[in-house]
């Protein structure tokens, strides 16, 4: 009999990568005959779901004193979140509880409760929260930081959580209460979408036998749309960036480099640096800002490009923009940081030193002159990131005995 799976994520709409992965997971399991339930926080933008009556109310860290107190209680796993989750465990009786992004707006107390109910507990890690109290392995200046891989005290001394002592104190308190020993007692398996994340989790003191590398997958409808793309079609004379316009994504370095090159760059996405960059490069004829694009328009952009670029200066985990580029048969020029080099090799792109403009320029010029086998790139990617491939590996994790 197929396992009954309770899927947990703090939001239940397409808010970010963790939410997209959660929705894809639910669809994947349902498609393969599993009974599923969902646990999330009440939120106005959530999709309708028949299990929403079990969901705890919304909390906010930006309200008044009462709102902040309620949010702090949620962080510590107190009150409503426990009662609601206990009721759902009792009524749904899951064989597996699959956690996703649960910190702050839900709570790691759910892992303990799921374990005590007798369910297998699997946790997909979408960020570095379990080893970095501020999630990103970036300091308050936006530079890569690993100070908290050991002691969590640096989050307080550097105030790297929103550059706020209060927010950093809450993050430290949360890390102390839900430390790695407490979490490992209640979680059978932590899924790391990249080998790089697994390495960092091990470096942060987590037991290697609790960690499994399993790459994210592309939803059936999206992957089918990429299968319909003719990867062998003529490419236009441009390369593209698809993603957030923020410092850690390396877009300042990208645009400064692109402005010195003759090749056309198209940029899709928005973010805190959008206005600044549009103004600074308004007179640069080979840089075009497209703003936010629909999924279909992103596919068209990627499938028409000679290659895409991922210039990140942060520990990317398993970036969807790289995966989707490869699924369209489009090579990737990627920074040598985080999980990016695991996705990009000499056959489907090239890499460069993260944050290094000269290295980036060399990689762009090299890829521009290369003759890519777009069909081979697409064929390989569609297999690697397909729902079918992911499901075969996931179901083995669900079926294995607890560690």
Task: Determine the topology of domain 220-384 in CATH.
Answer: Rossmann fold (3.40.50)
Q: Report the DSSP beta bridge partners of residue 210.
A: none
pLDDT at 76: 83
- Domain extents in the chain: 5-124+179-217+386-399, 220-384
Q: State the helix-helix crossing angle for 320-327 and 220-227, rounded to 10 degrees.
A: 40
Q: CATH classification of 5-124+179-217+386-399 is 3.40.50.2000, yes or no?
A: yes
pLDDT at 286: 97
Residue located via tokens 């003529």? 234
Task: Give exposure, 304-336, as e/b (b: 16+ Cβ within 10 Å).
Answer: bbbbbbbbbbbbbbbbbbbbbbbbbbbbbbbbb
pLDDT at 163: 84
| Residue 60: closest CA among 101, 8, 10 | 10
Secondary structure element (H or E) that encloses residue 124, with its range: strand 120-124
pLDDT at 170: 86
3-state secondary structure of 7: strand
Q: Report the DSSP beta bridge partners of residue 212.
A: 191
Whole-model pTM: value is: 0.92
pLDDT at 140: 84
CATH topology identical between 5-124+179-217+386-399 and 220-384: yes
For residues 239 and 219, what is the distance between their CA atoms, to the nearest angstrom? 25
Residue 321: φ, ψ to 5°: -65, -35
Q: What is the pLDDT of residues 25-44, one digit of tens each?
A: 999 999 999 999 999 999 99
For residues 352 and 359, what is the distance between their CA atoms, to the nearest angstrom? 5
β-strands 307-310, 332-335: how paired? parallel
Q: Report the DSSP beta bridge partners of residue 6.
A: 37, 97
**pLDDT value at 167 more than 90:** no
**pLDDT value at 68 more than 80:** no
pLDDT at 221: 87
3-state secondary structure of 121: strand
Mean pLDDT of 104-108: 91
3-state secondary structure of 99: strand
Q: What angle do CA 181, 185, 187 make, to 5 degrees?
A: 110
**pLDDT value at 403 more than 60:** no
Identify whether the C-beta of residue 372 lies closer than 8 Å to the C-beta of residue 307: yes
pLDDT class of 324 with cuts at 50, 70, 90: very high
Q: Report the DSSP beta bridge partners of residue 240.
A: 266, 308
Mean pLDDT of 14-25: 90
Mean pLDDT of 33-57: 96
pLDDT at 401: 45
DSSP string, 331-359: -EEEESSTTHHHH--TTTEEEE-TT-HHH
For residues 280 and 289, what is the distance between their CA atoms, to the nearest angstrom? 12
Q: Which residues contact 315 (CB under 8 A, 6 or more apart)?
A: 128, 136, 137, 144, 196, 197, 200, 337, 338, 339
| Residue 339: closest CA among 146, 202, 196, 131 | 196
Cβ atoms within 10 Å, residue 52? 14
Q: What is the pLDDT of residues 338-380, one digit of tens each?
A: 999 999 998 999 999 999 999 999 999 999 999 999 999 999 9
The one-character DSSP state at 144 is B
pLDDT at 253: 98
What rounded mean pLDDT belongs to the chain?
Answer: 93
3-state secondary structure of 237: coil
CA quadruple 173, 272, 342, 133: dihedral, nearest 10:
0
CA distance from start to end of the chain: 22
**pLDDT value at 61 more than 60:** yes
Q: What is the pLDDT of residues 244-302, one digit of tens each?
A: 999 999 999 999 999 999 999 999 999 999 999 999 999 999 999 999 999 899 999 99
pLDDT at 124: 97
For residues 176 and 173, what is the distance between their CA atoms, to the nearest angstrom? 5
Identify whether the C-beta of residue 120 lies closer than 8 Å to the C-beta of residue 402: yes
**pLDDT value at 383 more than 70:** yes
DSSP string, 278-312: HHHTTT-TTEEEEES--HHHHHHHHHHSSEEEE--
Q: What angle do CA 108, 110, 115 make, to 5 degrees?
A: 115
């Amino acid at each position: 009999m197929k396992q009954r799976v309770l899927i947990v994520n703090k939001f239940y709409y397409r808010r970010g990568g963790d939410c997209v992965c959660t929705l894809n997971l639910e669809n994947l399991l349902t498609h393969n005959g599993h009974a599923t339930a969902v646990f999330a926080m009440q939120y106005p933008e959530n999709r309708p779901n028949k299990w929403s009556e079990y969901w705890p109310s919304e909390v906010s860290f930006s309200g008044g004193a009462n709102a902040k107190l309620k949010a702090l209680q949620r962080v510590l796993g107190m009150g409503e979140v426990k009662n609601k989750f206990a009721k759902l465990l009792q009524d749904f009786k899951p064989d597996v509880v699959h956690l996703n992004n649960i910190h702050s707006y839900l709570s790691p107390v759910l892992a303990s409760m799921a374990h005590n109910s007798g369910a297998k507990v699997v946790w997909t890690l979408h960020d570095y929260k379990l080893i970095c109290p501020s999630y990103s392995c970036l300091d308050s200046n936006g530079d890569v930081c690993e100070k908290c891989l050991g002691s969590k005290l640096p989050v307080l001394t550097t105030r790297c959580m929103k550059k706020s002592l209060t927010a950093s104190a809450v993050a430290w308190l949360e890390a102390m209460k839900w430390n790695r020993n407490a979490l490992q007692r209640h979680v059978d398996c932590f899924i790391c979408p990249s080998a790089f994340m697994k390495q960092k989790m091990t470096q942060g003191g987590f037991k290697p036998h609790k960690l499994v590398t399993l790459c994210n997958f592309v939803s059936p409808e999206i992957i089918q749309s990429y299968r319909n793309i003719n990867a062998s079609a003529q490419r236009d004379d441009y390369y593209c960036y698809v993603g957030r316009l923020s410092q850690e994504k390396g877009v300042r370095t990208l645009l400064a480099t692109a402005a010195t090159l003759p090749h056309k760059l198209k940029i899709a996405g928005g973010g805190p640096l959008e206005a600044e960059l549009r103004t600074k490069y308004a007179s640069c004829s080979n840089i075009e800002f497209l703003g936010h694009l629909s999924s279909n328009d992103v596919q068209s952009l990627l499938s028409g490009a000679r290659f895409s670029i991922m210039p990140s200066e942060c520990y990317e985990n398993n970036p969807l923009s790289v995966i989707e580029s490869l699924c369209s048969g489009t090579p990737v020029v990627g920074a040598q940081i985080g999980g990016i080099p695991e996705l990009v090799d000499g056959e489907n792109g090239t890499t460069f030193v993260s944050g290094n403009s000269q290295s980036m320029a060399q990689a762009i010029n090299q890829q521009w002159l290369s003759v890519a086998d777009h069909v081979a790139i697409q064929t390989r990617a569609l297999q690697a990131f397909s729902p079918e491939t992911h499901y075969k590996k996931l179901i083995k994790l669900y079926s294995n005995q607890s560690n």
